[in-house]
Structure formats: C-alpha cells, structure tokens
Amino acid sequence: MEYKRIAVLASGRGSNLQSVIDGIESGYINNAKIMTVISDNREAFALERARAKGIEGLWLNPGDFASYEDYNNSIIEKLENLHIDLVVLAGYMKILSKGFVQTFQNRIINIHPSLIPSFCGVGYYGEKVHRAVLEYGVKITGATVHFVDEGADTGPIILQEAVKVYQDDTVGSLAKRVLEVEHRLLPEAVRLFCNEMLCIDGRRVYIKDGGAL
C-alpha cells in the first residue's frame, strides 16, 4: 500500500510530534511515514525526538536567509523534493508565507490549544492561550485541529474537543489537560487525512464514514 509522506514543522518540545510518531508506530496511522522534521529553533527537542527514531531532524535558521520569504521558499523546495503529501504544524511558532500556504493548499494542518474561534489568532500561542482563558473566566476551553489558510488560525476546522475549566486551575494544570486532548486529536486528524476521509466544503470539513470521532 502506498503511504502518505509527512513533514512536521515544530519549534519546541515536540510532544505533539511524538503523538504522531506513536500513532504510526502502533499502526493506528497505518499508511503514513514522517520524512522530515524541520525547526526554526536549533534547541528544539522535537529534533531530538525525530533523530531518535531515525527521522531527519533539520534546523533551518531564519537568520541565514535574506528575507522571511526566502526562508519559507527554502522549506517549500525541501518539501517538494521529498514529495510531501501532508505538512503538520506541531507547535511551530512561525507564520507560513502566502506562497507556502498556496503551494500546499488543503495539505497543511495545525493543532491549537483552544476552541477556535476563541482565544486564537496573532499572539495566541502556548501558555498565553491558557492564561487568557483563565483571565477571561470561561468555563470551557479545548483543542482544535484545522487546515491552515493564509490567516492566523482561520482555516477550516477538522476536529475539536472541549476541556472543562475548573475554579482552581492554574495555567500549568489547564495546559496539561488540554495537551492530553491535543495528543488524541492530532494523530486522529493525520489518520483521517492519510486515509482520504476528509472532505472540505467551504468552511466545513466533513468526515467520511469510518472516522473514529
């Protein structure tokens, strides 16, 4: 069976990357292979996670390029040479260029630690999201996997799951529970994509029969 070729972009610890690796190794994602993991951060532990599994872990320093457009173009060239089917953003802290999004239209997915369209967009990432959730006083938050378009967290939503906010929550305790959900949702979204079970109709994403969620 022909497998889907995946590239993962990550800037930090790579725990969501690990969830996809685990999904592939367990057979839950049964027709995919991660071809490369690319980071803008030389110290990203995601690169070590990749290398430990025999996957290429590549650091590309944005400062080595004349412009951010050139930096994105270098990644595009790399991914096209690898014939990548799906780009997974797993804690990637850079905004993709318009050309990048257009090149891989409807083939880029991102995981975000809130229920989009709440607490998302420019400036909402990592602990900043959970801090904003607690400061606002909402009772429900969660995680979202979505296709990436030219906006910030504005692409069609693939999967979401709610997480209750408790009165005694801290940023750390809330982040931990949301991350557990992220680790379920991202591999599931990758599985659905690789099995060609996602249909996009405008802003709506439909899951064909056989989806687990």
Residue 109's CB: how many other CB atoms inside 10 A? 23
Domains, the chain: 4-207 (3.40.50.170)
Contacts of 87 (CB under 8 A, 6+ apart): 6, 7, 8, 9, 79, 104, 107, 108, 109, 148
Tens-digit pLDDT profile for the chain (213 aa)? 589 999 999 999 999 999 999 999 999 999 999 999 999 999 999 999 999 999 999 999 999 999 999 999 999 999 999 999 999 999 999 999 999 999 999 999 999 999 999 999 999 999 999 999 999 999 999 999 999 999 999 999 999 999 999 999 999 999 999 999 999 999 999 999 999 999 999 999 999 975 554
Our CA dihedral for 59, 89, 5, 75, rounded to 10 degrees, sits at -40
70 contact partners, CB below 8 Å, separation of at least 6: none
Q: Residue 20 and residue 96: Cα distance in Å, rounded? A: 21
The question of whether 130 is a catalytic residue gets the answer no
Catalytic residue among 83, 112, 146, 183: 112
